[in-house]
Structure 1
Amino acid sequence: MNFLSVENISKSYGERVLFENISFGINKDQKIAFIAKNGSGKTTIMNMLNGFDEPDTGQVVVRKDIKMAFLSQDNNLQDELTIEESIFASDNETLKVIERYEKALENPEDEEVYQRAFDDMDRHNAWDFETQYKQILSKLKLEDLKLKVKSLSGGQKKRLALAIILINRPDLLILDEPTNHLDLEMIEWLEDYFAKENITLFMVTHDRFFLERVCNEIIELDNGKLYQYKGNYSYYLEKKEERIASENASIDKAQNLFVKELAWMRRQPKARTTKSKSRQDDFYKIKEKAESRRKENVVELEINMERMGSKIIELVKLNKSFKDRVILDDFSYAFQRGERIGIIGKNGTGKSTFLNIMTQTMPPDSGKVIVGDTIKIGYYTQSGINPKPGQKVIDIIKEYGEYIPLTKGKIISASQLLERFLFDAKKQYDYVEKLSGGELKRLYLCTVLIQNPNFLILDEPTNDLDIVTLNVLESFLLDFPGNLLVVSHDRYFMDKIVDHLFVFRGQGEVEDFPGNYSDFRAYEDSADVQQKEDNKAEKKDWKQQNNTTGLTFNEQKEYQKIEREIKDLELEKVKIEQLFSDGKVADDAIAIKANELQTIIQKIEAKEERWFELSAKMEG
């Protein structure tokens, strides 16, 4: 069944042609990834699919009876709504039923309203749906449903927008970088969700592991032409390489013919016969083909890096904490020449703090960092660059260096380095304020590399980079002869460039794992079999857990309500404890807050005791 058709669309901006006469379709159960370089029309096409832009020619046709949703980089949430209100603010009838039931639980005195809401839950099979949406919220770490949208961070807003879309289960889901702002645990959960669910997807993402595991088709926009591949990312890479080889063979043939035809053209008199005119017209076609060889951005640099002595960097008994949150606990490590280490861990475990201590931009609580005399650190942070008004791209990089020395006395200039990272000669003289987010990240990376460091430290270098740029960066780093320390959520990137990992487990626990990310994932999966079995036992069917056989009508209502009340009290308890932990309680309010906390704890204990009583009666 066809959900959406793109029919011969074209788009230009002045003399700049993005694409011409391209067509494709999205059918039921397809999971399509859309790949294109930045600036080639990727965003324009996404906007056309969602009706936010119109093609110059052609049309986009959407099937009338399908439900379509779009997850953009910018959310469309209402600041004054809570998380819960944002979820229920939809036309989904099942969600409306759940909302009425949740409200009935808050006012159990009205037995008629409660019973009607309870019956509606049965009639619409809403119990399972409620379980699923609560699982989604839990996985996306959106557990305090009373928080207002305006108080959420950018990452939380992105996760809420994603949660709303997943909960509403559209027929066709269009996604723009769905893994941004998600940690590895959430990304892997989302992968499993999309891989198992019968949902039709069309997405733009730079996460190549995600492409590999989720997508069954890839559409690439390359030099204004569309190419379709029926398979995952590995299949796409294989077939694209074959296509380029075939194109280059055709170009080589055209170049040989061009040499012969050029000699013939030079021998021709100015007066042309009809026959020679036809051959001359063919000559210009051959010339165009011969000059159409792809300009590949392959980075193979034999860098003449500054000599490294025997001492690299040594970390001696480092300790670092923020209040009760322990980042490092007596951590020691001596780096060896040429090590390539990746750092992984959940958000908030202290990965960026560790890098700041390594680079001595943040002091440890105790311990020391000893840097060898010959070590020159290049530190790529998440903060990026702050250009002055009116600066051009080439000016920015020349502030840091004019060239990188290569072996055999050669050099690569600042301009040549920019070219290899996709800044052509014209782009190098653009004003920096005109650059996109991804282009700014690329420029910042070049400012770090032009300084010719021998110890590279990279904090999330793949954010905002498209797949083409990622391949360029990977090629450079694979040739880099010095030490490399990198924090990244990009698992494909990590697998290619690192050979062992620091795994930040939280509360100061840092594990040195001898392998790349895939090795670590395989190890975790095999070591965690027993834990998974335990989890399965806990994840009983929701309705079975909430089977109210043996309870009176009023006890049924009490049982349903008490779980919500315990959760709300737990949240209040955590908030007060956090105030004490952060030292934000005024001296004259300490006794009041302590009493308030004790009251909440007593209420939780009483309600838990009653919950166990009702559970025992229900099971009996």
Structure 2
Amino acid sequence: MSTLIAAEGLGHAYHDEWLFKKLTLGIQQGQRVALVGINGAGKSTLLKLLAEKFNPLEGKIVKNKSVKIGFLDQEPTFPDNYSISDFIFSLENKQQQLIKEYEELIEDPNPDENKLNRLYEELSEHNAWEYEHEIKTILSRMGITHLQQKISTLSGGQKKRIALAKLLIEDPEMYILDEPTNHLDIDTIEWLEKLLTSGNKTILLVTHDRYFLDNVCNTIVELDKGKTFTYNGNYAYFLEKKSEREASDEATFQKNKNLLKKELEWMRRMPAARTTKSQSRIDAFYDLDAKTKQTSDKQDITLKVKMSRQGNKILELDHVGQSFDDKKIINDFSYVFKKADRIGLAGKNGTGKSTLLNILTGYLNPERGNVSVGETTVFGYYKQGGLAFNEKDRVIDIVKSDAEYIKMADGQTISASQLLTLFLFPPKKQHGMVEKLSGGEKKRLHLMKVLMQNPNFLILDEPTNDLDIDTLNVLEEFLENFPGVLMLVSHDRYLLDKMSEQLFIMEGEGQVSIYNGNYSEYRTSLEVAKEKAKEAPKNTPTAAALQKDNSQKLTYKEQRELEELEQTISTTEEKINTLTGSLNDFDSADYIGIQGVTKDIESLNKLMDKTMERWLELSEKNN
């Protein structure tokens, strides 16, 4: 395999502190590499250096000049006054410019027919129809529809998806991706996994998503204290080998520490006359002293805060409803929260997850229904957008603004400075400005402020974004032992699987369904439902036979609904098969006809998915 890009003797400092020096790293063609390390280790900086966004203070980047490298920043920036279309479609690419013109034209309610006909011919001449379909698929997956919208009007999450969409459309020889799964729903993440692992793509990425890491990457590079350690294998293999390395480092540290004591005694009684031999020993002493000062004691974040007492009444939702601009977000949803509930909130972007959380916590009063909060309920709400820190504030002052002293789970009272130390903010960082913190460190500070409130009802909205995996492991351990109510929104399937015992599924159009189980179990149940639905028209008994013994389990209304669902599944499947077969009858130049049928098939597939989910829900109740 050939080396596409390499760092040679790389060194870079940030705010007068060296992140790494004399760092060497090479990426081979076809490698899919995950870069891991604690927040503040310099992962994002290293990615930017390799993408040549700025020059290193020391060393150099060597790359094959013919290799096109695509870079996804953690927080992308865009030219002023650009529309989505302006950014997505490259001026240098003739096919993309034709597609851009076509997409803009068909958004017009009254398109110019002459222009459309000309574009049809040019798109066919440049063999761009298949490319146009690929681009539309990518944009659709990223939830990008209105291409004329100005990028400045979009949220941070929408901007990240636009930047990722452009990169996927360009399809460079090498991808450098900084947290690519942030702001994507789980369906889109799973689609992205398949896309990145198709072909012989070369990838270097930073991600906190362990399922994504394992499914995409075949090599792990750890950035630790300015050095890189490479592991050829998955995340479990990396953890095993890292543990072995740390044990070896600890043994070496203890050996050096004992040797230093002996050398220190020799230095104290050293003869005045310094021979060449003794000078060599003196130099070795100072070298050993420097190595030993680099303590091997591993610091761990400690999440141990006191939980407020929780009464019998926690939180009750009674026929809650909410709409925005005539669009139903939540429709007639009721639930009584119980002690130790562990609920995952799942659904595609835009289905209303954050709206439901804002209703629960009182940030939003619902249009319909009632929310009744128990007197002893104390919310801890970790919001996806993070806290609006003043960049010029000192870290310790941000904590002291809440409390000078904090009560821990064991009853001990500690100072704000001690708590910051437990969260891996050493004194130097505590008295430094917020602007010097990495993105992940700011999220860790936000999490700490939430836990300081001693909540007994903890709501975490995408807590994994920008946190390093070590911090996530500690967070998971804390959540496993958290005795209060936990409500979790996350695209991290690993975290959802581990922490939730029940799901609220935001299905769109205001529907919220409840599933007993974790996310992987839910997805498996959907696959089983699809298989059953395919067989149902041919192999299952008649609707009357299926309903024979339902009287004690399903209401009459539900019995009728189940019967109608089975008929809908059968009819929809027949329509899909018929339309799919009809595509072969179209002339290849009849793009309008093909496009119309394709849209009809997509709509029917969406209807099939939604129908099968409801069919499965009623079938389980019937069993």
For the criterion TM > 0.5, the same-fold answer is yes
Residue type at the aligned position of 2:340: G
- Contact 1:340–1:498 (8 Å) recurs in 2: yes
Rounded to whole Å, the distance in 2 between the matches of 1:44 and 1:286 is 30
Structure 2: stretches of 5+ with no match in the other structure = 536-571, 600-623
1:201-280 correspondence runs (5 A): 201-262=203-264, 279=281
Residue type at the aligned position of 1:545: L
Rounded to whole Å, the distance in 1 between the matches of 2:16 and 2:204 is 29
The one of 293, 296, 308 equivalent to 1:294 is 296
Partner residue, 1:614? none
Rounded to whole Å, the distance in 2 between the matches of 1:109 and 1:373 is 68
Worse-matched range after superposition: 30-39 or 184-193: 30-39
Change (3 A) 1:218 1:107: same
Is the aligned partner of 1:117 residue 2:122?
yes
Residue type at the aligned position of 2:237: Y
Partner residue, 1:37? 38
Partner residue, 1:333? 335
Change (3 A) 1:342 1:565: closer
Rounded to whole Å, the distance in 2 between the matches of 1:357 and 1:252 is 55
Q: How far is 1:172 from its partner?
A: 1.2
- Contact 2:181–2:189 (8 Å) recurs in 1: yes
Change (3 A) 1:252 1:335: farther
Rounded to whole Å, the distance in 1 between the matches of 2:255 and 2:116 is 84
- Contact 1:254–1:290 (8 Å) recurs in 2: yes
Change (3 A) 1:118 1:213: closer
Residue type at the aligned position of 1:175: L
Q: How far is 1:349 from its partner?
A: 1.9
SS at match of 1:315: strand
1:308-358 CA-to-partner distances (Å, cap 9, x unmatched) read 333333333333333543343443333332332221211222222222222
Rounded to whole Å, the distance in 1 between the matches of 2:337 and 2:496 is 19
Structure 1: stretches of 5+ with no match in the other structure = 550-555, 569-620
Residue type at the aligned position of 2:18: V
Q: How far is 1:98 from its partner?
A: 5.6
Aligned length: 558
SS at match of 2:427: coil
- Contact 2:123–2:129 (8 Å) recurs in 1: no
SS at match of 1:522: helix
Q: How far is 1:261 from its partner?
A: 4.8
How many percent identity over aligned positions? 46
- Contact 1:300–1:479 (8 Å) recurs in 2: no
Worse-matched range after superposition: 359-368 or 191-200: 359-368
Q: How far is 1:13 from its partner?
A: 5.4
Q: How far is 1:219 from its partner?
A: 1.6
Q: How far is 1:225 from its partner?
A: 0.5
Partner residue, 1:143? 145
What TM-score, normalized to structure 1?
A: 0.78
1:125-164 correspondence runs (5 A): 126-149=128-151, 152-164=154-166
SS at match of 1:426: helix
Rounded to whole Å, the distance in 2 between the matches of 1:194 and 1:440 is 30
The one of 192, 197, 200 equivalent to 1:198 is 200
Q: How far is 1:271 from its partner?
A: 6.5
The one of 580, 583, 591 equivalent to 1:560 is 591
Residue type at the aligned position of 1:315: L
SS at match of 2:25: strand
The one of 545, 570, 585 equivalent to 2:583 is 545
Rounded to whole Å, the distance in 1 between the matches of 2:84 and 2:391 is 39
1:471-550 correspondence runs (5 A): 471-529=473-531, 545=583, 548-549=586-587
Change (3 A) 1:51 1:290: closer
Q: How far is 1:14 from its partner?
A: 7.8
Rounded to whole Å, the distance in 1 between the matches of 2:247 and 2:28 is 30
Partner residue, 1:604? none
Residue type at the aligned position of 2:231: Y
1:350-391 CA-to-partner distances (Å, cap 9, x unmatched) read 222222222223223344333333332222223543456864
Rounded to whole Å, the distance in 1 between the matches of 2:104 and 2:77 is 26
Partner residue, 2:619? none
Q: How far is 1:214 from its partner?
A: 0.8
Q: How far is 1:491 from its partner?
A: 2.3
1:559-606 CA-to-partner distances (Å, cap 9, x unmatched) read 3356779999xxxxxxxxxxxxxxxxxxxxxxxxxxxxxxxxxxxxxx
1:347-426 correspondence runs (5 A): 347-387=349-389, 391-406=393-408, 409-426=411-428
Partner residue, 1:610? none
Change (3 A) 1:540 1:55: farther
